[in-house]
Amino acid sequence: LAVTETFASSYDGTRVPLSIIMSKGLSQNSTHPTLLVGYGSYGISIESRFWPTLLAWVEHGGVLAIAHIRGGGEYGEDWHLGGQKLTKPNTILDFIACGQHLVDAKYTRPSLLACNGGSAGGITVGGAMTWRPDLFAVILDLVGMSDMLRFETEPNGPPNVPEFGSVNTEAGFHGLYAMSAYAHVRDGVPYPAVMFTTGANDPRVSPSHMAKMAARVQAATDRK
| Helix, strand, coil abundance in the chain, percent, nearest 5 | 35, 20, 45
Q: In angstroms, rounded to a whole number, what is the distance separating the alpha carbons of residues 164 and 151?
A: 10
CB atoms within 10 A of CB 127: 25
pLDDT over threshold 80, residue 58 = yes
Query: Does residue 208 have a pLDDT over 70?
Result: yes
Q: Is the pLDDT of residue 224 over 60?
A: no
For residues 170-174, give the mean pLDDT: 97
Provide the pLDDT for residue 223: 62
The predicted-structure confidence for 66-104, as pLDDT tens digits, reads as follows: 999 999 999 999 999 999 999 999 999 999 999 999 999
φ, ψ dihedrals at 34, nearest 5° = -130, 135
pLDDT at residue number 201: 85
